[in-house]
Amino acid sequence: MRFQLTTILAFASATLTAANPTWEALQNWGKSSAGKSAPEHTSPRPSISCHPKTPHVSPHSPPTRTKVCYVNSHNDGVTDDSTYILDALHSCNNGGHVVFKEGTKYLIGTALDLTFLEHIDIDIQSYIQFTNDTTYWQANSFRFVFQNVTSFFKLGGNDVQIYGGGTIDGNGQVWYDLYASNIYALRPVLFGLDGLHNSAISNLVLRYSPEYYHFVANSTNVVFDNINIAGASKSANVAKNTDGWDTYRSSDITIQNSVINNGDDCVSFKPNSTNILIQNLWCNGSHGISVGSLGQYVGEYDIVENIYVFNVSMHNASDGARIKVWPNTPSALSGDLQGGGGSGRVQNITYDTLIIDAVDYAIEVDQCYGQSNLTLCLLYPSPLTISDVVFKNFVGKTTKKYQPEIATFACSSSSACSNIVASGISVLSPNGTNKAYCQNVDETKLDVECGGSYLGFN
């Protein structure tokens, strides 16, 4: 365990030092090179290895691309470069290598449907920023069917390799301020995937997303490797709902070797996420690695199964490992997030080797999500079942927020949860206890001291 913690902290430190430019540096990127662009070159495609755990499906290994297309830019930070971007992608589709040139700034002010991509490398060496026109983006960004998700662009197709070490900036500050005054504003996600297959996204810096950093929908066999995420608000208005990754109706997704500084789930498995591997992540300020939320919509059958989470370092977070399910009664977490009454199953989920550092709950299993009234939740138990879940090899210390509790296992009925196991849980609260609230679970399988109180959840 000590070796794994040292390794992941060293990885996080090196990544943040190398790929976390200051706000001023990001704002000025490309300006100093105006008129003296860096020589045009292509980046070598990264060789991605899934280690130490391996996914159900091997990552796609495409051949070398032969044609190269360099993306032009106005490079003034004012004029929309979307036409140049589309021209290059169409020209080099089906066997080419598209380069966003080093030392160049690109501005995107048009919603881009990029679901046509086939057999293409996209080499982002540059700084790409989306415009701050919230009126345009709310009217024109691409809408998904889940919750209120929209995206600046839709990325889809087959055999798409994206890398290069550059930065993509969502210009989030204007959105953080807008959301503070209007919770119904449609904030785009930074990376919207819709129908992407046999692809890899690696070696990128992502900054200031208005909402989620990635929404991975209707996709299969995609690897994310060496992604650096950050983007806190510069005003009193907090950057909210900035999940690192949300998966939805997708399978065989791998997320690994990445650093995430955000304000919501580090990774979240939304409905119908299967065969997913998470490993070697450093998460700070998040809401944990989360299954759900699920069961939000009446008539929908949500499935999350075959998930393996390994070697995650969780810092200054509300949760480490989390499963959140809406009860079978209308509930409201907030004005723009409410639901309950859906069914489905969560099955074969493993959280293995988590470092817990200043986290409110090391483990939270909650079938009363959005409903603080425990009596009402138990009167209307969730029809969504949770089974074959393992939490093992957890070490560290929680915050004072829920002490003496370090975990909660809140199932809404005795039949809703089965075979939930927690072993090797070496996590203590600041006062040295490892108590947990246990409701409708087999306490003999939990390496905690059951007997805590229901404190309500969010």
Closest listed residue to residue 235, CA positions, set 183, 172, 284, 286: 172
Cα 323 to its chain centre, rounded Å, is: 15
If you count DSSP H runs as helices and E runs as strands, how many of each does the chain have, helices first? 6, 27
Burial state string for 175-214 with b = 16 or more CB within 10 A and e = fewer than 16 = bbebbeeeeebbbbbbbbbbbbbbbbbbbbbbbbbbbbbb
Q: Which two tokens stand for residue 302?
A: 């949500």
Instruction: Write out pLDDT tens, residues 368-420.
Output: 887 777 788 888 888 999 999 999 999 999 999 999 999 999 999 989 999 99
Residue recorded with tokens 């819709």: 194
Three-state DSSP state, 87: helix
Residue recorded with tokens 């296992």: 409
Q: Which two tokens stand for residue 391?
A: 């939490």
Lowest mean pLDDT among 19-33, 80-94, 120-134, 290-304: 19-33
pLDDT of 17 higher than 50: no
- Residue 29 is predicted with a pLDDT of 36
Residues 6+ apart with CB under 8 A from 366: 322, 323, 324, 325, 408, 410, 457
pLDDT of 176 higher than 60: yes
The whole-number average pLDDT for the span 251-268 is 98
Query: Considering 97, 119, 287, 315, which one is annotated as catalytic?
Result: 287
Higher pLDDT: 251 or 369? It is: 251
Continuous H helices in 20-148: 23-28, 82-92, 134-140
HEC readout, 7-27 = HHHHHHHHHHHHHCCCHHHHH
Query: HSE of 454 in the Cβ direction (CA atoms, 13 Å)?
Result: 20
Residue 287 is a catalytic residue: yes
Bridge-based pairing state of the strands 250-261 and 273-284:
parallel
- Residue 454 is predicted with a pLDDT of 65
Confirm or reject CATH 2.160.20.10 for domain 2-450, answering yes or no.
yes
3-state helix, strand and coil shares in percent for the chain, rounded to the nearest 5 = 15, 45, 40
pLDDT of 455 higher than 70: no
For the chain, domain boundaries: 2-450
Instruction: Write out pLDDT tens, residues 178-222.
Output: 999 999 999 999 999 999 999 999 999 999 999 999 999 999 999
| pLDDT, averaged across the chain | 91
pLDDT of 93 higher than 50: yes
State which amino acid sits at residue 395.
Answer: V
CA distance 125 to 43: 8
First-to-last CA distance in the chain?
31
The whole-number average pLDDT for the span 318-340 is 84
pLDDT of 34 higher than 60: no
